[in-house]
Structure 1
Amino acid sequence: MSDAYRTVVVGTDGSESSLRAVARAGAIAGAVGATLVVACAYLPSDTDDRELAQAQDTLGDEAYQVVGSHPAEDTVRSAGERAAKAGAKDVKTVAVMGSPVEALLDVVKKENADLLVVGNKGLNGIKGRLLGSVPADATRRSGVDVLVVHTT
């Protein structure tokens, strides 16, 4: 059995920092001949506007989460193109309803991935410590290797 990664999952929310993680994951997948799965979590578009506004007020710039499946599909499509430019040969895209960490871990499991790539945005700062962050939670809960790309 080869030690090379066979399936790499990378999460994106469309933000510039997450797209830097997508490019790095694309380069890695291309270099080792792995399939790259670009995933975007989204909230249902019927999410209560008050709830959403409250979350955005609390999170500020870190509240970059896609609402609705169409924006999420657009996000993964353009991220997939960026990954291909970075070297990925076999790119799949998937939009998954749910919170970012749950969605990423579900995709890792469904795709039988052996590497999860996330950006480091949200890892530092008091909000990250109080509310948790995608990189920290994904790293703690993942059953596969996690690469945290320095994107900020």
Structure 2
Amino acid sequence: MVAYQTVVVGTDGSKSSFGAVDRAAAVASATNALLVIACAYYPTSKDDVERAQDVLGDEAYQVVGSAPAEDTLQTARDRAVQQGATRIETVPVRGEPVKSLLDVVQQHSADLLVVGNRGLNTLAGRILGSVPSEVARKSSVDVLIAHTT
């Protein structure tokens, strides 16, 4: 088996996505691969983020501007280092998660994409689609769906 050279993982700041970062970092560490941590976002004003937090509560991590994306990426990087990853790149990507992750995979010539399983077994995920199922269906490289929920 050929070792992975470049591993991409997506994070949105949720506990589940940080679990995926941990798993991707462990794989990258074991194979001395480059770990690329991506965070997709849409620019949002501070006022919009605060209003969303009032309404969404625990789900508010999904509403971020560019600064929170940078904070999320720094937290993910710190976690990856704790898992032993040494070659790490972080990438904030403006746009929706599935397309953003697939673009990062292509831009970095990655050979593994790691995502958490959040939303995979929910009714909304089955009806509307979930990030893990969509990237697994559309990816041209291996996909590891880490059990994070």
Q: TM-score, normalised by structure 2?
A: 0.89
Q: Give the partner amino acid of 1:106.
A: D
Specify every segment of 5 or more residues in structure 2 that has no aligned partner in the other structure, as ranges: none
Distance of 2:13 and 2:99 partners within structure 1: 18
**What does 1:122-133 align with in structure 2 at a 5 Å threshold?**
122-133=119-130
- Matched with 1:149 is 146
Q: 1:88-108 CA deviation, whole Å, 9 max, x = no partner?
A: 110100110001111101100
Distance of 2:136 and 2:59 partners within structure 1: 18
Q: TM-score, normalised by structure 1?
A: 0.87
Distance of 1:64 and 1:75 partners within structure 2: 9
The share of aligned pairs that are identical, in percent, is 62
Aligned counterpart in structure 1 of residue 80 of structure 2, from 80, 83, 95: 83
The answer (yes or no) to whether the contact 1:62–1:122 under 8 Å persists in 2 is no
Relative distance call for 1:43 and 1:140 in structure 2 (3 A) is same
The count of aligned residue pairs is: 145
Relative distance call for 1:34 and 1:43 in structure 2 (3 A) is same
Distance of 2:63 and 2:11 partners within structure 1: 10
Aligned pair 1:102/2:96, yes or no? no
Q: Give the partner amino acid of 1:21.
A: A
Specify every segment of 5 or more residues in structure 1 that has no aligned partner in the other structure, as ranges: none
Aligned pair 1:139/2:136, yes or no? yes
Distance of 1:94 and 1:82 partners within structure 2: 15
**Cα distance, 1:67 vs structure 2:** 2.0
